[in-house]
Amino acid sequence: MAPNITQKPMQIASYIDHTILKPTTILADIAQLCDEALEHGFAAVCVPPYYVTEAAQRLQRSSIGVATVIGFPFGYSHYSAKVAEAQQALDDGADELDLVMNIAAFKDNDLAYLETEIDALLKVRGTALLKVIVESGILSEEELIRICDLYGHYPIDFMKTSTGYAEKGASVEAVRTMRAHLPGRIAIKASGGIRNYDFARLLAEAGATRLGCSASVAIVKGESGAQPGGY
Task: Please tell me the predicted confidence (pLDDT) of residue 8.
Answer: 65
Report the alpha-carbon distance of residue 39 to residue 158 in Å, rounded.
Answer: 25
**Amino acid 228: pLDDT:** 40
Chain centre distance of CA 144: 16
Query: Taking a C-beta distance cutoff of 8 angstroms, is the pair 188, 182 a contact?
Result: yes
The predicted structure's pLDDT at residue 2: 52
**Regions of the chain short of the pLDDT cut 70:** 1-8, 224-231
The DSSP secondary structure of 62-97, one letter per residue, reads: SS-EEEEEESTTT--S-HHHHHHHHHHHHHHT-SEE
Q: Which residues are catalytic?
A: 98, 160, 189
Q: Please tell me whether residue 168 adopts helix, strand or coil conformation.
A: coil
Q: What is the distance in angstroms between the CA of the first residue and the CA of the last residue of the chain?
A: 24
- For 167-217, the pLDDT digits (tens) are 999 999 999 999 999 999 999 999 999 999 999 999 999 999 999 999 999
Amino acid at 145: I
Please give the model's pTM, rounded to 2 decimal places. 0.93
**Alpha helices by DSSP H, the chain:** 27-40, 52-58, 79-92, 103-107, 111-124, 141-151, 172-181, 197-206, 216-220
- State the pLDDT at residue 51: 98
pLDDT of residue 18: 98
Give me the pLDDT at residue 54, please: 98
For residue 37, the cross-strand partners are none
